[in-house]
A and B are shown apart, each in its own frame.
Chain A
Amino acid sequence: MHRRVIIFLLVLPLLIFAAIWQINIKTDISAFFMAGDSRQTTLIASNMQTGELSRRYLITVGQSGSDEKPLDFIEDLRSELSAIEGIERVWGEGLSEDEISALIAFYLPYRVHFYALNPDVEVPGVFSESALAARVDAIKQGLLSPEAQRMKEILAADPMFLVSSWLRRLSGNAPAESAYASLVIETVAAGLDSARQRPVRKQIEETFNRVNHEYGNQYALAMTGVPVFAMAVQEQVEKDVMLVSTISMLAMLLLFILLFRSLRALISVSLTLVASATLATIITSVVFGEIHALTLALGSTLIGICVDYPIHTMVHAAGGEEDAPRSAKRIWPSLLLGAITTVVGYAALSFTGYPGMQQIAVYAAAGILTSLLIARFVLPYAIMHHASSMRPGFAFSSWLNFAGRRNLRLPLLIVCMLLLFAGISGINWQNDLSRLSPSLEELKENDKRVRSRMQSVEPGRFVLLHADSIEHALQLNETTSRALEKVKAAGKLAAYYSVYPWAASQALQQQNIHLFSQQLNSEAIERWHAAVEKSGIRSSSLAEPSIPDIAALDFETITKSPAGRYIAGQYVIDDQGAILTIWLGSHDAQAVRQALAAIPQAEYVSQKDLMNEMNAAYSNKAVEALAYGALVILLLLTVRYRSPATALQALSPAMASVAIVLGCWGLSGQPLGMLHLVGMLLAVAICVDYGIFFIENRAHNAGLTYQAIVVSAMTTMVAFSCLGLAENPALQTLAWTIAPGVFFGFFLCPLLIRPKPAAIGDMLREKS
């Protein structure tokens, strides 16, 4: 055995061990497709991936045929769930007594600072006789209610019960009318960390079953949330990876046995592919710190490309007159150029902006170059004594002879162009990224059902406020809240959840203090005493109204207070300033947009629209990448052949293939997206190889060259067709774009390229 082969066989297990040891697989679809190049998209992307909202399960419990909320059950369930390890907190539709007490204790000293959202309007009216009478009545009602004890405690610090204003704002969003009781369960682990979420979810379900058993199994549980979707997506991706990898391996195995009928050939090529995939995994993991499962799934299709180089080496070694190393050396320039053009195609992907595509580009480049180097420097020495037994079992000579006897180049190009023009007007372009997500219809229906039973924010639609500081952001939040109050009053917004009344700007707090100071004079205090006495309350039992002499409450203190958890996830503060989010309940989008029109820094965001805008931007970049990729490949070929005409001829099968496939897509009316473009780019990169191999015809034997092209094209088509078996629409799109593209690319080669007896390779050699 040649020493190169021995070294290869020794190093390969070490590489496999290294890959297994350091691999970190990620399955989150949004991480694959979203990174965000603005603060806004970064906020959304990070919220989707690790944000507090992403860590929540929403559950509802109800009884079939009953309109009574199972409040007792839900409280028992809540206390049981709170004890589960991995669950941060659990809460229901309202605040508990303890939570209310803690909040009152915190905000009581700031009752004047937080009194009104519109101090100019609200504060002057506080000391009118009618307002004071109403206030005293409320106090008396409190004293005579079952909440008398709490009222007495509040009055000891706040004789005018001003904190009621803050409490009223807090309970401004009424819970939804529903026969279902609900809980929000916040987990410690990120919502997309399915490995850690799975046991938590299992415990939630087990706990529900246990408590439900105690209640006679009369209740049904419905659950939704990012972790639920993430787990379903992961299961689907894992299933896809397993399915695609297994079927594609088996299909390749079968194809190989049918074509070569040689176990040695199969082992040789398999080891080449294993080495390529292993090194590609290691390099990708090192570069990105992790590798996405979709990269591995798409990467498995690289088998179809990487296999080209060992196949060409084997076919030429088996069919040529030279030994394997010499034969490999002869075709090396063609393989190298083909590999470079393919890598250029994949490299162009990284400029589309999709984070996942950057991974795929690195993975592909590493895999292709590894396969190429093995095909040139190791494989020939492994097969040199057995090459003749690896001759393919068939030749595609009939088609080659048929095409060779006819000059159909021009008519064919015209037909391709006509097809393209016929189809291009019908191309249905769409930027809806959700179509790339796994089709989880059942989960989506369940999600809609669960959310409709809860007073919940509308997923994916909210208001984003940008400012250069948290103070300005809070002021903006107050302006926006005033605008949203009007929309709510008009019945076009069920609820909104801003950081107010939890947090108020320094300016608003100072304004409240200032206006109270103006109003709280001796006359006002006299009117207050009179109103108190008139109601039958002893004014001497209450402290004198006064304004607490304390500094305004700052945002950081609030975030660390009992109120902090209610606004967590609604703000981002960094060097560039602050972003606040206002979650919206069910609403009329047009009314909200109109209300915000006059507030330039308040932006109504539809996450879906935003993602689609990002996708549109990616698509534009993909078009550019496609154009630049094709241009770079053309330049490379032009430099290589020192003739633009020859370069165009080498490119013609790829171009004709793209024209046919695009034309057919257009005529079919099927919606096209970003991934179709990506698929086209890859098809071009692969088909250019066939053009190069065929036009260079380095073996001086067009039949042998085309035989190698056919074999490698068949393996490529099989590999990409296997992607079509996946449930993931992204993988299906790639399958049904690349496989037909490759078919037309190799099929049209003999029609579009006429290799001469003195092939291009020899001409180049002579020139040099």
Chain B
Amino acid sequence: MQFYIKLLLQLALIFFVSTATAAETLESILERAAAQQNVAIDYREVRHLQMLNEPWQAEGKMIVTASAFVIDQLAPQRQLLTANKHRYWLYMPEAEIRRTGMVTSPMAQRSFGLFKPIMNGDRDALEKEFDIHFTATDKRWLLELKPKRTGRALYARITVQGEDGHPASYMKTEMVDGDFTEWFFQQQPFTSSEESSVKRLMDEARGN
């Protein structure tokens, strides 16, 4: 689960706070990523599970600040996922389910370990974990990450795309078992309303 959190939020940090251009490199994106603090995104998620007859869709809002990640899924059911640097909280109001755990737990460590180099702009460490392909044309840019140690990876491939001069608008996460998820992003201005929402949603997820 933490994999999702880290994956989405850290990639969001990287790719939504930056405006890539064809002339840019991965390093320049990473540098700007670290400088960004707050991001608000409307998202639509489409899951393609082999067990389901039809793809499943959800939509909601992501908010990323220096100290918090929030994914507030609003439809088809409310599902709130929040995290700080240490811990995540999951709240499913309809099912009255609450979960919490450390982002340093083994599974989260694996994912955090993979993405931390991205956060830090550490290309050497990044290349230790991923095979990286960053390409850009006049109209679009594309980042493709493939875990080197496939034996313990949940994801077979992660791709992020965006239009030239714009942040990422699409991400696809492909699971090792063949399932995949598509994410469609629309960045929104980060206002004081988002700032107060973060605290409220963090409290809600924690049950305070």
Contacts and interface: CB of A to CB of B under 8 A. Distances in A.
A140 B101 CA distance: 22
Interface in A60-102: 67-69, 71-72, 75-76, 94, 96-98
A538 B51 contact: yes
B134 interface: no
Nearest to B50: A541
B84 interface: yes
Contacts of B105: 96-98
Given A75-B104, A97-B107, A538-B50, A141 B86 contact: no
Nearest to B89: A71
A144 B208 contact: no
Interface string B106-120: 110000000000000
Contacts of A141: 77, 92, 95
A143 B104 contact: no
Interface stretch (B36-44, B52-60, B137-145): B52-60
Most buried by B among A69, A76, A149, A538: A149
B20 interface: no
Given A144-B58, A538-B50, A541-B50, A72 B86 contact: yes
Contacts of B77: 141
Contacts of B104: 75
A498 B52 CA distance: 40
A96 B101 contact: yes
Contact of B100 (A68, A71, A145, A152): A71
B51 A537 contact: yes
B90 interface: yes
A97 B47 contact: no
A542 interface: yes
Chain B contact residues (Cβ within 8 angstroms of A): what range? 20 to 34
B123 interface: no
Interface string A509-553: 000000000000000000000000100111001100000000000
Size band of the interface chain A makes with B: 20 to 34
A146 interface: yes
Contacts of B90: 145-147
A533 B47 CA distance: 18
Contacts of B58: 144
B68 to A, nearest CB: 13
A149 B51 contact: no
Contacts of A96: 101-102, 105
Contacts, number: 69
A536 B87 contact: no
Interface in A128-166: 138, 140-141, 143-149, 152, 155
Contacts of B5: 146
A72 B89 CA distance: 12
Interface string B191-208: 000000000000000101
B124 interface: no
A67 B208 contact: yes
A141 B47 CA distance: 13
Interface string A572-589: 000000000000000000
Interface in A293-307: none
Contacts of A541: 50-51
A75 B95 contact: no
Contacts of B206: 69
Contact of B101 (A76, A97, A145, A538): A97
A94 B54 CA distance: 36
Nearest to B207: A177
Given A141-B95, A152-B177, A536 B52 contact: yes
A145 B92 contact: yes
B84 A72 contact: yes
Given A146-B1, A146-B5, A75 B92 contact: no
Interface in B34-84: 47, 49-54, 56, 58, 77, 79, 81, 84
Given A75-B87, A96-B101, A146-B81, A68 B106 contact: no
Interface string B129-151: 00000000000000000000000
Contact of B51 (A71, A98, A542): A542
B128 interface: no
B79 A75 contact: no
B1 A538 contact: no
Nearest to B3: A149
A165 to B, nearest CB: 16
A143 B177 CA distance: 14
A296 to B, nearest CB: 50
Contact of A536 (B1, B50, B54, B106): B54
B125 interface: no
B52 A538 contact: yes
B29 interface: no
B190 interface: no
Interface in B3-30: 4-5
Nearest to B85: A72
A350 B106 CA distance: 59
B53 to A, nearest CB: 5
Contacts of A537: 51-53
Contacts of B52: 140, 143, 536-538
A693 B52 CA distance: 102
Given A94-B100, A96-B105, A144 B86 contact: no
A143 B49 contact: yes
A141 B105 CA distance: 23
Contacts of B79: 145
Given A67-B208, A146-B5, A75 B86 contact: yes
B114 to A, nearest CB: 15
A71 B53 contact: no
B156 interface: no
Nearest to B84: A72
A176 B206 CA distance: 14
A314 to B, nearest CB: 76
A143 B54 CA distance: 13
B158 interface: no
A427 B92 CA distance: 64
Contact of A71 (B56, B87, B92): B87
A146 B6 CA distance: 12
A97 B106 contact: yes
B70 to A, nearest CB: 13
A179 to B, nearest CB: 9
Nearest to B108: A97
A68 B208 contact: yes
Contacts of B177: 152
A6 to B, nearest CB: 74
A537 B104 CA distance: 33
Contacts of A69: 206
B208 A536 contact: no
A222 B34 CA distance: 39
A149 B154 contact: yes
B106 A98 contact: yes
Contact of B1 (A138, A143, A147): A147
A145 B91 CA distance: 10
Given A537-B51, A538-B51, A144 B56 contact: yes
Nearest to B99: A147
A155 B107 CA distance: 20
B84 to A, nearest CB: 7
Contacts of B87: 71-72, 75
Given A536-B52, A542-B51, A146 B95 contact: no
A537 B90 CA distance: 24
Contacts of B154: 149
Contacts of A144: 47, 56, 58
Contacts of A152: 51, 177
Q: Which 7 pairs between the two chains have the least Cβ-Cβ distance?
A: A72-B86, A146-B1, A541-B51, A97-B105, A536-B53, A75-B102, A146-B4
8 contacts: A67-B208, A72-B84, A72-B85, A97-B107, A138-B95, A141-B95, A147-B99, A538-B53
Given A143-B52, A146-B4, 7 more contacts: A71-B87, A97-B105, A98-B105, A141-B95, A152-B51, A533-B53, A537-B51
